[in-house]
A and B are shown apart, each in its own frame.
Chain A
Amino acid sequence: MSSQTIQSNATSKAGHAAEGPMERFIYDDATVRKFVAATVLWGVVAMLVGLLVALQLVLPPLVNFTTESGSKPFAFLSILTGFEFLTFGRLRPLHTNAAIFAFAGNAIFAAIYYSTQRLCKARMWSDMLSKLHFWGWQLIIVCAALTLPLGITTSKEYAELEWPIDLMIAVVWLGFFGTNFFMTLKNRRERHMYVALWFYIATIVTVTVLHVFNSLAIPVSLTKSYSVYAGVQDAMMQWWYGHNAVAFFLTTPFLGLMYYFLPKAADRPVYSYRLSIIHFWSLVFIYIWAGPHHLHYTALPSWASTLGMLFSVMLWMPSWGGMINGLLTLRGAWNKVTADPILKFFVVGITFYGMSTFEGPMLSVKTVNALSHYTDWTIAHVHAGALGWNGFMIFGMLYWLAPRLYQTQLWSKKLMATHFWLSTVGIVLYVLSIYAAGLTQGLMWRAFDAVGQLQYPDFVETVTTLIPMYWVRVVGGTLYLTGMILCAFNLIKTWQTRPATYEEPVHQAPALAKTYQDAAQPASRLEANVEFGHKGDVWMQGWWHRRWERLPLKFSIWVIIAVATASLMELVPTFMIKSNVPTIASVQPYTPLELAGRDIYISEGCYNCHSQMVRPLWAETLRYGEYSKPGEFVYDHPFQWGSRRIGPDLAREGGKQSHDWHVRHLENPQQLIPQSIMPGYSHLLKGDTDYAGIGARVRVMAMLGVPYGNMVNEGEAEKAARDQAASLAADLEKQGGYANLKDKKVIALVAYLQRLGTDIKKAVPEAAPAAKSAAK
């Protein structure tokens, strides 16, 4: 026994080998201050846009309210609902992008810049990269704010920004931010990498992989590109990305934030460092697989769906590992929470994290998902996480940082507490009302009457029922926004009491020794045993892993391996196995005019309210028609399955209504369906179809494998489009519709809508296309 004791002492001594020379350095807090300011600004913007889109769902009945005398006193509100550049379909992605990348994004950078420097005992490696990172990121946000309302979008959720901005993101994320971060790690003066740093590493590495692979697209023009993936594969890629954007942008950096700022605020170490190791690796490996839970009962092959479900359920434990570690860090210090609003924000935030990461796995179970998919339950789930976990962790961090960054006192502790209570009530009102809305709509869709018919055959009935609940959400969201504004006010007042020049304390720490004497490999603790047994025991003592935690490069590489392995194991079969997407011979590419119409559908963001995926569920097939087959989507670059039904599913819309109905419905939905909350698109009856650009679009599609044959030749596609438009416009007039619309965008859009879902009923064309068939 004594020999073992000596050995372990020797181990720890050898572990802290000769230090390098003492070095002096100053932390860069100016960059942190910049990111904090940006977080607050974009937080207000993101929440304002959120309030606006929430209002857009409740105002239409008010706008259309007609008094007995025939006047519409609230018609002026239509500027909020019907203005071309601010329709719900264009604005909702602006809200999601602002909340995720502008608000949460800048907060993540503030957290990382502040904590990494201190955990590494080193200044950020390059002041120039810090500046480029900050300004580059803000530029990206401004580009998003300009392009999205203009209808410049890829329609892929949380990846809507078009390709030039995607390139900017890659450059800023990896070239500026990632490089700066990893070089800081390399030059650190604290050998052991604290757990927060692992989470930051996982974030940077995985977001890079996700962004690059999901954004692969062929540009048609500066403002338009087509995803290289189509249909089922595109759906799989999108939700591999989408769910992992949640995992590695909204979870891992926030766990890193929690692991640093909570101990600082509570003045206690994290509850169990061991638990943090176990849950970190489990989280990073398991999260990647969860994507398919967004695609249950769709045309995705069921093996992928089941895999996603199982891994999502398993994910509950690593996530709760984080929650447990966070909450139990406060054991013995709960009295501090009563006195400190910062700790209140953290505790409630972590609790919402626990709730969301329990609800998530539950929603991933197929049978639960059959009820929840496309309803507001998903929205409620998102907002419990976004407002509760992300928002509150950000607020706690901001209030903790402010006095230290501005070297003064917080202007008003009372206002901070008010913020906490207002926002908490706001979240509760938001989430409860939207849970109710989600369940109501889901249950109404599948309700049958005594005779076996749909209880609510008119879709719009399932929307009007929700309006009162949407009003409660408006109240909840307003409270949360008010809290955000109070926070901004408080921080600005705090900033105003800053000193004339900031103190920049000079810190000292020894550089790491150039050569590190790793602890000697321990001896086997076994007595007599076979050689293999001795080696196994030595391995079990884990000295080799201790080295990893000091080697950021090796560590990062293993994170990449974990993430990549998980990704490939799930994604490769989707692409490689032909039987996943059986060919349907009668499915043909969209005509050039229909393609133009599809691009208008994408540009206007119709997918934000309308799905295109009939699930093989009885209530669904009764309501919409034949369920959607994977082979129907092989030419859909990108896919348009959607994730929400504020309006009815459109997968089988083709042929259900006359052209005239569609034109009038698009012009002003309420003239055909008085209770509809859809905005009007009268500008589509005035704007001209871009015939000149159709050729380029068809050629890019052909490049991606869509068998357009002769259409790629100069002028062919344009001619075909004009011919089809003229024919459609003539039919429209015969039906009693508007005249002179043949060159207008609405004709292209109607052509597309009338095509949807009709191919499976068509005869197989006689000359089967010799070019590439369906599945890649």
Chain B
Amino acid sequence: MRLSDIMGQLDLATYPIIALVIFLAVFAGVCVRVFGKRYAAEIDRAATLPLEESTRPEGGAQ
């Protein structure tokens, strides 16, 4: 009996389905969280990070 024989006889088909369900749940959760009101202020600041010239250069900007 080799490992590949044993693996071939296991009923592995359910695991990918479980994985898919988990993935969908996480995806839905992230969507709900991200579009929630709580997060708005942080998002707005984060979105403009590249445009911040805010390293307070001593002389001359970037």
Interface residues of A, Cβ cutoff 8 Å to B? 8, 12, 15, 24, 27, 115, 118-119, 121, 190, 192, 194-196, 259-260, 263-264, 267-270, 273-274, 277-278, 281-282, 285, 404, 503, 505-509, 522, 540-543, 545-546, 549, 565, 569, 573, 575-579, 775-776
Contact = CB atoms under 8 A, between A and B. Distances in A.
A541 B36 contact: yes
B50 A263 contact: yes
A127 B39 CA distance: 37
Nearest to B41: A12
A506 B58 contact: yes
B4 A278 contact: no
Contacts of A196: 50
Given A8-B41, A278-B30, A278-B31, 19 more contacts: A8-B38, A192-B49, A267-B51, A273-B44, A273-B46, A274-B35, A274-B39, A285-B23, A505-B57, A507-B58, A509-B56, A541-B36, A542-B36, A543-B38, A549-B46, A565-B19, A573-B12, A576-B8, A578-B5
Contact of B32 (A505, A540, A575): A540
Interface string B25-62: 00101111111101101111111111100111111111
B2 A506 contact: no
A4 to B, nearest CB: 10
A543 B41 CA distance: 13
Contacts of A278: 27, 30-31, 34
Given A508-B56, A569-B19, A576-B3, A263 B42 contact: no
List of 6 A-B pairs having minimum Cβ-Cβ separation, nearest first = A542-B33, A578-B4, A507-B55, A576-B7, A273-B47, A194-B49
A577 B4 CA distance: 5
Nearest to A573: B12
Nearest to A510: B56
A505 B8 CA distance: 64
Contact of A505 (B16, B42, B59): B59
B50 A119 contact: yes
Contacts of B23: 285
13 contacts: A118-B55, A194-B46, A196-B50, A269-B47, A509-B56, A522-B38, A540-B32, A542-B34, A542-B38, A542-B39, A545-B33, A546-B42, A575-B4
B48 A269 contact: yes
A196 B48 CA distance: 12
Contacts of A8: 38, 41
A505 B62 CA distance: 7
A201 to B, nearest CB: 16
The secondary structure that dominates the A interface is helix
A119 B16 CA distance: 38
A430 B25 CA distance: 43
A577 B61 CA distance: 60
Nearest to B27: A282
Contact of B55 (A263, A508, A540, A575): A508
A119 B50 CA distance: 7
The secondary structure that dominates the B interface is helix
A276 to B, nearest CB: 8
Contacts of B32: 540
B16 to A, nearest CB: 7
A508 B57 contact: yes
Interface string B1-19: 0111101100010011001
Contacts of A549: 46
B42 A192 contact: yes
Contact of A540 (B5, B36, B42, B58): B36
A268 to B, nearest CB: 8
Nearest to A196: B50
Contacts of A277: 30, 34
A195 B42 CA distance: 13
Nearest to A115: B50
A439 B51 CA distance: 46
User: Which of B12, B31, B57 has its CB near the most chain A CB atoms (within 10 A)?
Assistant: B57
A540 B48 CA distance: 25
A698 to B, nearest CB: 25
Contacts of A263: 48, 50-51
Given A505-B62, A578-B7, A192 B51 contact: no
Nearest to B3: A576
Nearest to B61: A505
Nearest to A505: B60
Contacts of B61: 505
A546 B39 contact: yes
Contacts of A27: 62
B41 to A, nearest CB: 6
A377 B29 CA distance: 39
Nearest to A194: B49
A46 B45 CA distance: 40
A302 to B, nearest CB: 14
Contacts of B15: 569
B47 to A, nearest CB: 4
Nearest to B31: A278
A274 B49 contact: no
Contacts of A577: 4, 7-8
A482 B53 CA distance: 37
B40 to A, nearest CB: 9
A546 B34 CA distance: 10
Contacts of B58: 24, 505-508
B45 to A, nearest CB: 7
Contacts of A273: 43-44, 46-47
B2 to A, nearest CB: 7
